[in-house]
Amino acid sequence: MSELNKTPLLEVRDLKEHFDINVGFLKTRPLKAVDGVSFSINRGETLGLVGESGCGKTTVGRTLLHLYKPTSGEILYDGKEIKTKADILEFRKKATMVFQDPYSSLNPRMTVADIIGEPLDIHKLYETKEERRERILELMDHVGLNSEHASRYAHEFSGGQRQRIGIARALAVNPEFIVCDEPVSALDVSIQAQVINMFDDLQDKLGLTYLFIAHDLLIVRHISDRIAVMYLGKIVEMADADEIYSHPLHPYSKALMSAVPVPDPNTARANRRIALEGDIPSPLNAPSGCPFRTRCPHATEACAEAMPEFKEVSSGHFVACHRVGELN
Amino acid sequence: MEHTPLLKVRDLKTSFFTDAGEVKAVGGVSFNLERGKVLGIVGESGSGKSVTVYSILQILAPTGKIVGGSVKFNGQELIGIDEKEMRKIRGNRISIIFQDPMTSLNPTYTIGHQLMEAILLHTGRNKKQARERALEMLRLVNINEPEKRLKQYPHELSGGMRQRVGIAMALACEPDILIADEPTTALDVTIQAQILELMQDLQKKLGMAIIMITHDLGVIAQLCDEVVVMYAGSICEQGTADEIFYNPKHEYTKGLLRSIPTDQSNGQKLVPITGTPIDLLNMPKGCPFAPRCDNAMKICLRERADRIRINDDHMATCWMNAKEASSEQEKQEEADHE
């Protein structure tokens, strides 16, 4: 990864996204999908966002791009807050998204050329038809598709190739920043490496910045410069990718890292996993204080009272845990 | 006296007859499963790993048909026996847990009803005893408040809990073989760790054999004694877990192991397998992996390699080994001459 510029490209401050859920006649309750998340991403950097299903990682990605209207909090891009409709439209020329499922995220009635050309149409990024066509072919070339694929439909392609189409579409507006929401989890193992390498190459070639959302920790570690771990709508730990793998500090991160199945029999046999009891609580009934305390082997009464502060314990390593000092 | 393996599969072939033509989903698969062992079948989507075990249990979709081969369970041939006989084995001696615990449970019946159904069907227990057994099974898979769970419906349980119920159901009749078809793919990592640990514990406690189907080499490394690697409907490599991971001999297995990110691969490019998975309707004449193989030779495109023995615990269907084997033989002969 290239040299990192120290002014963040994207900054998120105390972002909250609450959905109103009907719980009775005319009665709603807030589901706190994202509950006070702050982070920043530098230009050319990849921030990995990991966590289990329901922890709010996808919602973070979507709220960032204003696909959901944030309940509260600030999103700053290049130092400027994204707020008005005009801001959002302008922002979407610089920030795009690659979705998880290459089967449902491509319109089956559109040809590949039209799928990739749609963002060009929306943002009126060409003068002549010829220019549009050239741009589409250039994008297809970027992601390793042939020009003869342009007039075909999405169903004629395999999963890996479909994901390439989705990536070409995300690149159409010449973005600086891409939210990658589980872009390889629907793909076969042998194809995943192809797509991951492509993300790497495109970053080098086009100077892209990624927010890489995934649950496969081996892949996130491979592609990310820094990693943030989410649990029940909050970021509980954030650090350099290697640091968080070798020295996780939050009890949840520790359990998560130890639960990754390692493809090596000797390591797997010797590996001591930290088994967590129980399941993730529903975000409708989030526990008081620290969200992890109901499954945490080290929880005390203090953990039930207040949410621990998200503080920097060593350079660039942030943790939200009351007992981080005594446990490590 | 000849030793009879618990399950002996020989040259099993299963095809699906579709409008587009015959899809040879499984094209001649052979393996043995010994009592109390864990066998892993690893492969990508379309490799035929699920169809192989569905054929063993004879639970194929209507278009699917077993077109050849033999499956012997405890010495008894299962292919061709009538459905009534098969039912005595399926769910009783050989049972299965499915990938998606949401769709494999019936949403309209309580957990208790579904658990007791299997017990009442296969054992001589009465309703009261069956309920006792169901409770015992729920406790065995570490479900809290088992009495309450019996009255609940599948949608009231979390994914991990539902998979525990699936395991409880599969183990209720104390099977000799438990088939697990991607049992943790739909689950989160920490829940996956819980379920894998549970399966390991139960396997030690109850001593059944397990066939573990997965695409995740990490799961295989953790759980399995022996491994079968499948590609495009046939076995490309087979051996003990250590042999497969530390001494892979088929180019596909090597590629698969290379393509996973590890501690060492950070900051480096991954080494992917090029190309796309094979179209089962248009199978090449030679090795099915040859079109994607970097080291493919002329013979690979012409004909398939037989099972080539690497050592007592290991075999692969890759011509690369034939070359090694023959050149070794030549060296040996030269040495003998001298």
Average pLDDT, rounded, for chain B:
89
Contact status, residue A298 vs residue A276, Cβ threshold 8 Å: no
pLDDT tens digits, one per residue of B76-119 = 999 999 999 999 999 899 999 988 777 889 999 999 999 999 89
| Mean pLDDT value across residues B224-235 | 95
Contacts of B195 in chain A (CB under 8 A): none
Residue to test with chain B: of A57, A155, A190, most B Cβ within 10 A: A190
Rounded to the nearest angstrom, the minimum Cα separation between B15 and chain A is: 22
Distance of CA B235 to the CA centre of its chain: 12
More confident residue, A84 or B337: A84
A268 at interface of B, judged by CB pairs closer than 8 A? yes
Question: A234-240 and A226-231 as β-strands: parallel, antiparallel, unpaired?
Answer: antiparallel
Planar angle of CA B318, B319, B322, nearest 5 degrees = 115
Is residue B325 very low, low, confident or very high in pLDDT (cuts 50, 70, 90)? low
Burial code of A279-290, b = ≥16 C-beta within 10 A, e = fewer? bbbebeebeebb
Residue B13: which of B52, B54, B59, B53 has the closest Cα? Answer: B52
Q: Which domains does chain A have, with CATH numbers?
A: 8-94+175-327 (3.40.50.300), 108-174 (no CATH)
Backbone angles phi, psi at B182, to 5 degrees: 45, 60
Q: Is the sign of the CA dihedral B309, B314, B315, B320 positive or negative?
A: negative
Segments of chain A with pLDDT less than 70: 1-6
pTM of the predicted structure, to 2 decimals: 0.86
Contact status, residue A318 vs residue A238, Cβ threshold 8 Å: yes
Residue to test with chain A: of B219, B240, B259, most A Cβ within 10 A: B259
| Mean pLDDT value across residues B190-205 | 89
Contact B218 A260 (CB under 8 A): yes
Rounded to the nearest angstrom, the minimum Cα separation between A285 and chain B is: 15
Planar angle of CA B10, B11, B17, nearest 5 degrees = 130
> Under 8 Å CB-to-CB from A46, ≥6 apart: which residues?
A1, A203, A209, A210, A211, A212, A223, A224, A225, A226
Contact B222 A259 (CB under 8 A): no
From A197, A259, A263, residue closest to B189, measured CB to CB? A259
What single-letter DSSP state applies at residue B326?
A: H
Q: How many CB pairs under 8 A join A and B?
A: 123
| Mean pLDDT value across residues B263-280 | 80
Residue A166: which of A148, A189, A182 has the closest Cα? Answer: A182
Classify burial at B110, counting beta carbons within 10 Å of its beta carbon; exposed 0-12, middle 13-18, buried 19 or more.
middle
Quick one: closest CA in B to A278, which residue? B191
Compute the radius of gyration of chain A from its Cα atoms: 21
Rounded to the nearest angstrom, the minimum Cα separation between A191 and chain B is: 7
Residue A159 in 3-state DSSP? helix
Contacts of A294 in chain B (CB under 8 A): none
| Mean pLDDT value across residues B303-320 | 91
Is residue B2 very low, low, confident or very high in pLDDT (cuts 50, 70, 90)? low
Contact A276 B194 (CB under 8 A): yes
Identify the pLDDT of residue B265: 67
Residue A77: which of A7, A28, A27 has the closest Cα? Answer: A7
Burial code of B321-330, b = ≥16 C-beta within 10 A, e = fewer? bbeeeeeeee
Q: In B216-291, which ranges are continuous DSSP H helix?
A: 217-223, 241-246, 251-259
Given a cut of 70, whether residue B257 has pLDDT beyond it is yes
Rounded to the nearest angstrom, the minimum Cα separation between B322 and chain A is: 25
End-to-end CA distance of chain A: 30
> Under 8 Å CB-to-CB from A104, ≥6 apart: which residues?
none
Contact B265 A222 (CB under 8 A): yes
Q: Which tokens hold the place of A42?
A: 């530098």
Backbone angles phi, psi at B217, to 5 degrees: -65, -25
Contacts of A197 in chain B (CB under 8 A): 269-270, 272
Contacts of B266 in chain A (CB under 8 A): 221-222, 241-242
pLDDT tens digits, one per residue of B123-149 = 889 999 999 999 999 998 888 889 999
Contact A264 B245 (CB under 8 A): yes
Percentage with pLDDT > 90 across chain B: 59
A263 at interface of B, judged by CB pairs closer than 8 A? yes
Average pLDDT, rounded, for chain A:
90
Rounded to the nearest angstrom, the minimum Cα separation between B252 and chain A is: 9
> Under 8 Å CB-to-CB from A126, ≥6 apart: which residues?
A120, A132, A135
Contact status, residue A63 vs residue A70, Cβ threshold 8 Å: yes
